[in-house]
Amino acid sequence: MNNLTDKQKRFHQQYGTWAVVTGASDGIGKEIAARLAESGFNLVLVARRKPLLETIATQLRQTSGIETRVIAADLDNRTGIQEVIQQSTDLDVGLLVAAAGFGTTGEFLKNPLESEASMLKVNCHAAMALTHVFGNRFIKRQRGGIILFSSILAFQGVPKSANYAATKGYIQTLVEGLRPELKPYGVDILACAPGPVQTGFATRANMKMNQALTAKDVAQATLKALGKTTTVHPGGLSILLEGLLTPLPRWVRTLILTQVMAGMTKHQTS
């Protein structure tokens, strides 16, 4: 802590010395963990792939001198969620970053029900459950922060990504409702709503993305916005799209995003 800047020290004063980051093995979660480590946060790293998590944890300890705890957990079931809750009770956690999540594309009725249900559990139920538990911990501390992940797709229905957009709509609405509830207790909550991002998400969702942000760009913008606003739109493209789409009726936004998604998923039918 002695080598931290004044800004980093203020961040620690608000959010403590430990942070829980889910989805920490890849993409935005991994980059946020790296940025937090640089700022001297000890980290609870959560993902399914334990060997990869342990490698990342070792690297962060060596480069930043922090403490780490690895939790290999699948957040599409209650057991995985409980592991995160129970294995962090002895730590002074002041920041939750619920970055775990994935997407599906294609026509909803043609996709396997199992994958659509799993996405709902990870993107919505796990984020909700962890927010409930850690939010109550933070209220007792009278300080803390929560970061959840929305999307540019969260603000309207999106054909070929209907269920994914719906899961992000849930997160966006949850954050907007919780922010005034948590503020009197000194707890900040933020929704990050990026556009296309260069992560493993696109591969899993079978999408081809152009003009995508890097996960590092999203991580930096997100941490910078925590405590200052309800929603952050990282990157110029996301800001531009939100500015253009917001004044329009939802059905018009759906038509526009239909064309965007058609371009990203065109290869699926070619």
Q: Which residues are catalytic?
A: 164, 168
Dig out the tokens for 249 from the structure.
Answer: 């009726």
Distance CA 226, CA 237 (A): 20
Q: How far is CA 4 from CA 8, 11, 40, 59, 136, in A?
A: 6, 10, 7, 20, 29
Amino acid present at 19 = A
Residue 121 amino acid letter: K
CA-to-CA separations, 89 to 8, 39, 83, 187, in angstroms, rounded: 24, 22, 10, 18
Amino acid at 63: T
Q: Are 22 and 196 in contact (CB under 8 A)?
A: no
Written as one letter, the residue type at 214 is T
Question: What φ, ψ does residue 36 adopt, rounded to 5°?
Answer: -65, -40
CB atoms closer than 10 angstroms to residue 4: 14
- E strand intervals along the chain: 18-22, 42-47, 68-72, 93-98, 144-149, 187-192, 197-198, 213-214, 231-232
Query: Within its chain, how far is the Cα of 135 from the centroid?
Result: 16
Coil, helix or strand at residue 191: strand
Q: What is 138-179 written as a DSSP string?
A: HHHHT-EEEEEE--GGGGS--TTSHHHHHHHHHHHHHHHHHH
